[in-house]
Amino acid sequence: MNSGKLRRQTMGVCYYPEHWPEERWETDASMMVEAGISHVRIGEFAWSLMEPEPGQYDWGWLDRAFETLASHGLKIVLGTPTATPPKWLVDQMPDMLPVGKNGQVRGFGSRRHYCFSHLGYREECARITRALAERYGKHPSLAAWQTDNEYGCHDTTYSYSEAAEAGFRRWLEARYGSIDALNEAWGNVFWSMIYRNFDEIELPGQAVTQTSPAHQLDFRRYSSDQVVAFNKVQSDIIRAHSPGRGISHNFMGKYTDFDHYAVSADLDIATWDAYPLGFLEREIGDEALIKQYTGVGDPDFDAFHHDLYRTCGQMRNGTDNGRWWIMEQQPPGPLNWGTYNSEPLPGAGRLWVWEAFAAGAEVVCYFRWRQPAFAQEQMHEGLLLPNGEPNQGYHLCGQISKELDSIQATPAADHADVALVFDYESQWMLDIQKTGQDVSHLDTVLRTYRALRRAGVSVDIIPPKKESIVGRKMVLLPMAMVLADDFVDALEASEALIVAGPWTGAKDQNFAIAEDLPPGPLRRLIDIQVRRIETRRPYLPFPLSDGGSFAGWREHLILGEGVEVIETQSDGAPAVLHTGNVLYHAGRGDDVAQDRFIRRALTLAGVPWFDLPQDVRIRDNGKLRYIFNYSKKTVDMSAILPDADVAMGSMELAACDVTAVHLK
Ligand code: GAL
């Protein structure tokens, strides 16, 4: 049920009333209203205050926080506090702590100190969640829930604990039925790895060198399933006690250790935490990009996640109109966790928020209300300064709220003509068995996504599922390595342009090279065979005859009947192949090649595209088209979009500016 969907996009904030004297709460609540904030997330780290002694709850402070916020008409998003189990609980069951790959126990004193496989801890989480849901689940001001906080953050999806080992063995038994089947699937005849029973199997943490890639893949699948199961325990309890309130979780950027589509199947709202400058510094890590986009952020990285998590928001209700939010948005000020922490350029903070609204976010919540003067995050800006006075973010929040009033945009996002597959298993596979150091599925998908964005096209990121390609004009599958039969059937029946390669359909679900060679089952659609792949360092690209090159990865193929070579590599090897409604790219294009590939594909698929100035991006949503200027200079868009009917801003966009125009 898609309950509680909002009709107008709106602002929110993350608030920690427990960090401030109660006398201040009234002031905070009225200042929030003044800044146009409607939603306030609270509670997600407060277990040791909710239950200071085992079994003794103290709800007084939380009741009063609820009442203060409610009396100002604010809507509350309540977090379950399970990312921060109290010390007494850890002391009661020390084996709930996560264990690192090196066998070292990861201790108390920060957060996320639990192992997803520990069933005793899961029961404790069920208990505190039930207590919270019974007390606050029907509160009239409660709008939504957040389960836990950032599953997997600080590298916590994988735990090498005893609980994980026991759980893994039972999971394998259920998956394979017999040890012979497992030995066969993992290829255990290799290096004499044959097991006699499931209890002989260890976690793939401490072997001398690589364990079987299928063993590692199954450990990732198992660990991902534990996150799903852990989350489901909480979602089920909340759903039973808190009807009509959306259940959410806040995902992260560039985090792929568990299958987010699968976790989202138990959520009503997918949310994520967007920190553009932190990502640029720490997650993207490309010196050239850092140099180019310091202060504004990567024009495509956050946008990619908006499009990914919007799809996650559809996993439960199955509509094209999934609910998604930004649960934590970087304020227009420096963070504490980048390698370096620069301030945003003027306008950048506004640009980020509008990019999310343009992608259909219902709510954009700032992290956080007030910068604390104490503890780990004291150097992280908030909307207020540590002394409680407004900082820039406070004023910006008020400005955006007024703009939202005037523009009246709806949270819905359209079903895009173009869908790009991102698949967690393919990500794990290329991570487990690297043939080229910097090659990953995510990186390859991002390169493709960037080229689509540079062409001004709106995109949905989708899982490799048949339901997800219905009604598309173009489906792209770079490095989507395992393709289920029913998905290939759907691709075959689809009228969309299918853009495959490199390395699409390359493996089977046991991580073996596809029967009769890659692209495996896709050979039903295009009669080619990949006979060799080659990877090289970034400074040794593979040049292409028409300009640009393959970066880091290329394939050598042989072609069957009816396959046309439409581009070659400089040494004459085929680069781009075509047959019917299928294009195949035999490598990872650099930006020059990728732009050419994508624009050719869009033209073939009949999807309109734009020749945009550098660092300008466009997004369509409902009746509005948004234009974003991620560059540091003014751009005039009136020649590219003549006769535009401007809804917000101007056709001459200053650096970091955003404009919205009515779509005809
Ligand atoms: C997020 C986390 C928040 C806070 C924030 C700081 O990863 O969910 O609790 O730590 O980062 O940027």
Per the annotation, the verdict on 150 as an active-site residue is yes
- For 181-207, what is each residue's pLDDT tens digit? 999 999 999 999 999 999 999 999 989
Ligand 1 centre from 467 Cα, in Å?
34
Pairing between strand 549-559 and 542-543? Answer: antiparallel
Give the C-alpha separation, 293 to 356, whole Å: 18
Distances (CA, A) of 123 to 50, 99, 254, 580: 17, 19, 30, 55
- For 243-254, what is each residue's pLDDT tens digit? 999 999 999 999
- For 494-524, what is each residue's pLDDT tens digit? 999 999 999 999 999 999 999 999 999 999 9
Ligand 1 centre from 20 Cα, in Å?
18
| Residues paired with 659 in a beta bridge | 627
Q: How many CA atoms lie within 13 A of 112 on its CB side?
A: 14
Contacts of 338 (CB under 8 A, 6+ apart): 277, 278, 280, 281, 282
Mutation test residue for ligand 1: of 305, 377, 378, the one with most atoms within 8 Å of CB = 377
Q: Reply yes or no on whether the pLDDT at 370 is more than 60.
A: yes
- Asked whether 357 and 363 are in contact (CB, 8 A), the reply is no
pLDDT attached to residue 414: 77
Lowest mean pLDDT among 300-304, 369-373, 414-418, 445-449: 414-418
Ligand 1 centre from 236 Cα, in Å?
26
Ligand 1 centre from 288 Cα, in Å?
26
- Pick the atom of ligand 1 nearest to 336's CA: 12
Q: Reply yes or no on whether the pLDDT at 421 is more than 90.
A: yes
DSSP, collapsed to helix, strand or coil, labels residue 491 as helix
- For 292-329, what is each residue's pLDDT tens digit? 999 999 999 999 999 999 999 999 976 656 799 999 99
Ligand 1 centre from 105 Cα, in Å?
23
- For 428-444, what is each residue's pLDDT tens digit? 999 999 889 989 999 99
- Asked whether 317 and 2 are in contact (CB, 8 A), the reply is yes
- Asked whether 260 and 424 are in contact (CB, 8 A), the reply is yes
- Asked whether 421 and 480 are in contact (CB, 8 A), the reply is yes
Q: Reply yes or no on whether the pLDDT at 85 is more than 80.
A: yes
Ligand 1 centre from 380 Cα, in Å?
9
- Pick the atom of ligand 1 nearest to 278's CA: 12
- Pick the atom of ligand 1 nearest to 250's CA: 8
> Which two tokens mark 340?
């370096």
Q: Reply yes or no on whether the pLDDT at 82 is more than 90.
A: yes
- Pick the atom of ligand 1 nearest to 150's CA: 8
- For 589-637, what is each residue's pLDDT tens digit? 999 999 999 999 999 999 999 999 999 999 999 889 999 999 999 999 9
DSSP, collapsed to helix, strand or coil, labels residue 466 as helix
Query: Does the model's pTM come out above 0.95?
Result: yes
Which residue, judged by its Cα, is nearest atom 2 of ligand 1?
A: 150
Which candidate in 328, 362, 403, 425 is catalytic? Answer: 328
DSSP string over 130-192 = HHHHHHHTT-TTEEEEE-SSSTTTTTTS---SHHHHHHHHHHHHHHHSSHHHHHHHHTTTGGG
Which residue, judged by its Cα, is nearest atom 1 of ligand 1?
A: 273
Which candidate in 44, 51, 124, 150 is catalytic? Answer: 150
Give the C-alpha separation, 124 to 119, whole Å: 9
Mutation test residue for ligand 1: of 16, 82, 328, the one with most atoms within 8 Å of CB = 328
| Largest pairwise CA distance in the chain | 78
Per the annotation, the verdict on 564 as an active-site residue is no
Mutation test residue for ligand 1: of 16, 41, 150, the one with most atoms within 8 Å of CB = 150
- Asked whether 243 and 302 are in contact (CB, 8 A), the reply is no
Which residue, judged by its Cα, is nearest atom 9 of ligand 1?
A: 149
Ligand 1 centre from 318 Cα, in Å?
29
Which residue, judged by its Cα, is nearest atom 10 of ligand 1?
A: 377
Distances (CA, A) of 657 to 515, 633, 636, 639: 51, 10, 11, 18
pLDDT attached to residue 2: 40
- Asked whether 135 and 59 are in contact (CB, 8 A), the reply is yes
- For 521-565, what is each residue's pLDDT tens digit? 999 999 999 999 999 999 999 999 999 999 999 999 999 999 999
Which residue, judged by its Cα, is nearest atom 5 of ligand 1?
A: 367
DSSP, collapsed to helix, strand or coil, labels residue 394 as helix
Ligand 1 centre from 97 Cα, in Å?
21
- Pick the atom of ligand 1 nearest to 335's CA: 12
| Residues paired with 624 in a beta bridge | 621, 662
Give the C-alpha separation, 525 to 556, whole Å: 18
CA R_g for the chain: 25
Residue 283 confidence class, pLDDT cut points 50, 70, 90: confident
- Asked whether 393 and 385 are in contact (CB, 8 A), the reply is no
Q: For residue 498, which of 588, 420, 592, 441 has the smallest C-alpha distance?
A: 420
pLDDT attached to residue 379: 97
Other beta carbons less than 10 A from residue 425's beta carbon: 21
Contacts of 56 (CB under 8 A, 6+ apart): none
- For 112-167, what is each residue's pLDDT tens digit? 999 999 999 999 999 999 999 999 999 999 999 999 999 999 999 999 999 999 99
Q: For residue 111, which of 133, 88, 81 has the smallest C-alpha distance?
A: 81
Q: Edge-to-edge, what's the strand order for the sheet holding 616-621?
A: 616-621, 624-629, 658-662, 645-648
To the nearest 10°, report the CA torsion of 629, 634, 640, 645: 80
State the chain's mean pLDDT as an integer.
Answer: 96
Mean predicted confidence (pLDDT) in 555-583: 97
Residues with CB under 6 A from ligand 1: 149-150, 153, 273, 275, 328, 335, 337, 367, 377, 380
Contacts of 180 (CB under 8 A, 6+ apart): none
Give the C-alpha separation, 358 to 639, whole Å: 22
Give the C-alpha separation, 369 to 254, whole Å: 25
Ligand 1 centre from 397 Cα, in Å?
19
- Pick the atom of ligand 1 nearest to 252's CA: 7
Instruction: Give percent above pLDDT 70 in the chain.
Output: 98
Other beta carbons less than 10 A from residue 123's beta carbon: 11
Pairing between strand 564-568 and 574-579? Answer: antiparallel
Ligand 1 centre from 81 Cα, in Å?
14
Give the C-alpha separation, 604 to 581, whole Å: 9
Residue 4 confidence class, pLDDT cut points 50, 70, 90: low
Phi/psi at 364 (5° precision): -115, 115
